Amino acid sequence: MILRKSAVVLSAATLALLTACGSSGGDKGGGPGGPTSSGGINLDNQPAASIKTVKASGDCADYGQYGKYSNAKVTIYTSITNPELDYHVNAIKQFEQCTGISVQYQGTKDFEGNLKTKVQGGNAPDIALFPQPGLLRTFAESGDLKPSTKELTELAQKNWASSWIDLGTDDGIYFGAPLGANLKSLVWYSPKYFKQWGYDVPTTWDDMIALSDKAAADGHKPWCVGIESGDATGWPLTDWMEEVMLRLYGPDVYDQWAQHKIPFNDPKVLKVLQTVGSIVKNDKYVNAGIGDVKSIATTAFQKGGLPVAQGKCVFHAQANFYAANWDKGTKVSADGDVFAFYEPTISDKFGKVVEVGGEFVGAFSDKPEVQAVELYLASGDWATKKAELNAAAGTSGWATANKAVDPSVFKDPIDKLSVQILTDPNSTARFDASDSMPSEVGSGTFWTAMTQWILGKADDQATLDTIEKSWPK
C-alpha cells in the first residue's frame, strides 16, 4: 500500500487465487487444438523462446540455459523501492555476471500512473513487476504485453499452484509469472501474554470468537484495529471483508463478488459486512489500548496492532508484512512477544482458504535477453537467493509460493510460517479482491465507504449501496 495494500511496507505479495481469471481448478489434459494447462492455457499458443542456450562451467554452470550476451540491457519497472529493492538487485547479480545481461531496476511509489505514461509514450520498460494482476491483464488486453514463452509457462506451472497461473492468464494466453507473495490471512497475538493469561491459540472461528468473549469478560478489549493510511485510509477493512467472504461463502462466491457477477449490495455481501461489524463495531471488543470504535478510523494501520505487544490487545488481523512495524527489540516468535496464527475458517466446507497479494512479471519486449530474465525470475534459484539475502540482513516480510524454493532458507519465523501456508497443497487462496476490482471501486468507494461505515456515518445497507452505485457500467 502506498500505498496500495498489496505493497504496503513495501515489499510486501497470491495465491490460489482467482480474481478475474476464471477457474482455479487443477491442470487439465490435452484438448482440441493442442495441450492445455491450468487456466485453460493452450501451450501451442505460447511463443517459443528465442534464447540460445550455451555450455557454461564453474559457478556459471547452471546459467547456460539463459544464454550469453554482449552489451545487453534489460530494464525492470516496479513499485518496490529501497531498502527492499536492494535485495532484488543483489539477488540477480550472479545471473548478470554469468549471462552478460545488465539488469536495471527502477522503483517508484507511483507505479500504475507512471507505467501507463511510459507505455503510451512509447517508452515502456522491458519488464514490469505488477502488484495487481488486473493491471497486468489490462496491458495484455491492449496488446502492449508480450505473451510468455512456452518454456516460461511450463516452468511457472511446475513451480506454482494452478490458481497462481490463472492470475497471469488472459483469454487463454499466459502473460505473467508470479514473483513474491503476501499472506493476508493472519491474526497477530502475544505468546507471552497468552501464557500469562492461560489462553490457547484458537483453531476455529468459533474458538476465536469464544476467546474474544472470554477476554472481554476478563477485562481485556480483545481486538485492536487501525485503518488510517493517508489517501488509502480504509483499506484494512476491505481485507476484513475479503477474509470473511472467503470463509462464509468460499472461493466461488468470492470470485463472483470480485468480478461483479453478484452486485456489491447482494444479501451475501450484506451478511459478510454484518459479520465484520460484529467484531470491529463491538464496543466490548475494540479498540484495545487505543480508544472507541471510531478511533479505528484515525489510528494508522502501522500502529493498529502495537497494543498486542503491550498486553493491551489480544488479537490484531493483519498480513505477514506487518512484522516490519513492531518496535525494535520485540521478539517475533512462537514463544516471544508477538507471533501470528492462520485466521481460522468459519466452516470446513471450503477447506483452508487464504487471501493473498503479490507481484507478477510482465514483459513489453520479447528480445532473447528479456525472455532470459523472465525465465530466471520464475526459477527457484532466484527466489532462494532473494530469501537468503533477506535472511542474512535479518529482515522479514518477503515470502513466496514458489514450490521450488528451499524452505530452510527462510529464517524469520513469520516468513517461515507464511511460506508454509502459501505452499500448503491443502490451501485454497484468492488474490486480494479490491486490487482486482476497477480502481473506482477497489481503491475508491470501497475504501471511503468502509471508513464512513466505521465512523457510524452510514449503516450496513447504505454502505453497500454506495459502493454498488460506483461500479462502472
The answer to whether 375 and 66 have CB atoms below 8 angstroms apart is yes
Residue 26 binned pLDDT confidence (cut-offs 50, 70, 90): very low
Which class would CATH give 186-350+434-470? alpha beta
Query: Does position 133 have pLDDT exceeding 50, yes or no?
Result: yes
> pLDDT tens digits for 387-398?
999 889 888 778
When comparing pLDDT for 437 and 213, which is higher?
213
Query: Over 60: is that where the pLDDT of 11 sits?
Result: no
**Hey, how many other C-beta atoms are within 10 angstroms of the C-beta on 100?**
14
Mean confidence (pLDDT) of the chain: 90
Report residue 373: phi and psi, to 5°. -65, -45
Residue 176 contacts by C-beta under 8 Å, 6 or more apart in sequence?
130, 133, 136, 140, 145, 148, 167, 168, 360, 361, 362
Cell of 72: 545487453
Q: How high is the pLDDT of residue 39?
A: 54
Q: What's the pLDDT at 154?
A: 96
Q: In whole angstroms, give the CA distance from residue 332 to residue 411.
A: 12
- The domain spans of the chain are 5-183+354-431, 186-350+434-470
Q: Which helix (H) or strand (E) holds 272?
A: helix 267-280
Domains 5-183+354-431 and 186-350+434-470 share a fold: yes
Q: Where are the beta strands (DSSP E) in 235-338?
A: 316-317
Q: What amino acid is encoded at 187 in this protein?
A: V
Query: What residues have CB less than 8 Å from 219, skipping those under 6 apart?
Result: none
The three-state secondary structure class of 357 is: strand
Query: What's the CA dihedral at 380, 393, 13, 183 to 10 degrees?
Result: 100
Q: Are strands 352-363 and 427-431 parallel, antiparallel or unpaired?
A: parallel
Rounded distance, CA 78 to CA 76, Å? 7
455 has a pLDDT exceeding 80: yes
Kindly report which listed range (33-47, 383-397, 407-421) carries the lowest average pLDDT score.
33-47
d(CA 174, CA 152): 9
**Tens digit of each residue's pLDDT (9 = 90 or more) over 312-327:** 999 999 999 899 899 9
Residue-wise pLDDT tens digits, 336-357 = 999 999 999 998 899 999 999 9
Q: Is the pLDDT assigned to residue 220 strictly greater than 50?
A: yes
Of 80, 448, 436, 10, the residue nearest 230 (C-alpha): 448
Cβ atoms of residues 59 and 41 within 8 Å: no
Q: What is the pLDDT of residues 150-193, one digit of tens each?
A: 999 999 999 998 888 988 999 999 999 999 999 999 999 999 99
> Parallel, antiparallel, or unpaired for β 127-130 and 173-174?
unpaired
In this predicted structure, the answer to whether residue 404 has a pLDDT above a threshold of 90 is yes
Contact yes or no for 420/114 (Cβ under 8 A): no
**Residue 403 CB contacts under 8 Å (≥ 6 apart), including other chains:** 158, 159, 160, 161, 380, 423
Return d(Cα 277, Cα 282) in angstroms, integer: 7
Cell numbers linked to 36: 492445455
CATH, domain range 5-183+354-431 = 3.40.190.10
Least confident of 139-143, 242-246, 375-379, 396-400: 396-400
Q: What span, in angstroms and rounded, lies between the C-alpha atoms of 250 and 272? A: 12
pLDDT tens string 222-249: 999 999 999 889 999 999 999 999 999 9
| Long-range interactions of 386-390: CB distance < 8 A, separation 24+ | 386/87, 386/88, 386/91, 386/180, 387/415, 389/87, 389/90, 389/91, 390/87, 390/415
Residue in 366, 4, 301, 26 with CA at minimum distance from that of residue 182: 4
Q: What is the pLDDT of residue 4?
A: 40
Please report, as a single letter, which amino acid is at residue 310.
Q
Winning range, highest mean pLDDT, from 1-5, 78-82, 161-165, 378-382? 378-382
Q: Which residues on adjacent β-strands are paired with residue 356?
A: 183, 431
Residue pair 230/3 in contact by the 8 Å Cβ criterion: yes
Please give the residue that has the higher pLDDT: either 38 or 409.
409
Nearest to 308 by CA among 335, 342, 344, 339: 339
Phi, psi of 296 (to 5 degrees): -60, -40
Q: What digits encode the pLDDT tens for the residues 239-286? A: 999 999 999 999 999 999 999 999 999 999 999 999 999 999 999 999
How much is the pLDDT for 75? 98
Q: pLDDT > 90: what percent of the chain? A: 76
Residue 262 CA to residue 467 CA, distance in Å, equals 13
Instruction: Tell me the C-alpha distance between 226 and 299, whole Å.
Output: 5
Q: Which residues have CB under 8 Å from 85's CB, separation 6+? A: 78, 105, 107
How far apart are alpha carbons 427 and 454 in whole angstroms?
31
Query: According to the model, what pLDDT value does residue 231 have?
Result: 86
